[in-house]
Amino acid sequence: MKMAALLDLEGTLLDYEFWEELSRRHEKGEVLRDLLERGLSGQPWFESFIERVKAIIGTPKSLIEEVSSLALSKIKPEARELVTVLKKLGFTTIVVSGGFEEFVSPISNELGVDDFVSQKFLYHEGKVVGVYTAFKDKGEVVDKIKPWFDVIISIGDGYNDAWMLRKSDLGIVIGKRKDLSREVNALHYDSLRGLVEDIKKGGLVAQKLERFIKI
């Protein structure tokens, strides 16, 4: 039985938002904040993402690395515990993030996950010139790995996680968006700590995971 757990990063495992922090330090911060607001107001995620990247063409790689490095101190304590628990249950743990490799890779290493899927900045002479996109929505990641796993679960907190949650065998929404959990037929937990404790004490999610493991 091969099982994968796909884990959203920002807001789920991490109390940090790359674009918000970059907007505080970038000369085009006001433009970035406006694009972020539009994204939160219903603009399709990928469309908003491309517009943000276009806005920062020419940004020094050093600034990207600086903003990325700040995230390491923002990992939720229970995030490491969740990864440990899932790996003990036999899951291959994979961070799936709309963020960039410079940002996602060191955090994934710190968390001890097995792998990660992320976007990648393209540089020329130390400045951003574009982006290589690994996916337009996270549901594509589920589709691409399905041939290699019998069971896929996913954990996320936002609408950009919706297709990943919907296409997985079991979706879990963390945080305030109960409406999202209803929309994608997923379980809901108010916090990551609540999810970890529920798994450890054999609660609802543990029972569902046990059903998969015993198949």
Rounded to 10 degrees, what is the CA torsion of 84, 10, 182, 114? -30
The answer to whether 36 and 23 are in contact (CB under 8 A) is yes
Confidence of residue 137 (pLDDT cuts 50, 70, 90): very high
pLDDT at 205: 81
DSSP three-state, residue 78: helix
Domain 3-15+75-214 has CATH 3.30.830.10: no
43-85 pLDDT, tens digit per residue, is: 788 998 999 999 999 999 999 999 999 999 999 999 999 999 9
Query: What's the pLDDT band for 119 if we cut at 50, 70, 90?
Result: very high
Q: Is residue 126 classed as helix, strand or coil in its secondary structure?
A: coil
Confidence of residue 192 (pLDDT cuts 50, 70, 90): very high
pLDDT single digits (tens) 9-52: 999 999 999 999 999 999 999 999 988 887 666 678 899 899 99
pLDDT mean across residues, the chain: 92
What residue spans define the domains of the chain?
A: 3-15+75-214, 18-71
User: What kind and span of H or E run contains 153?
Assistant: strand 151-156
Residue of 183, 191, 186 lying closest to 168 (CA atoms): 186
pLDDT digits (tens, 9 = 90+) for 152-175: 999 999 888 999 999 999 999 999
Q: How far apart are CA 206 and CA 74, in angstroms?
A: 27
pLDDT score at 167:
97
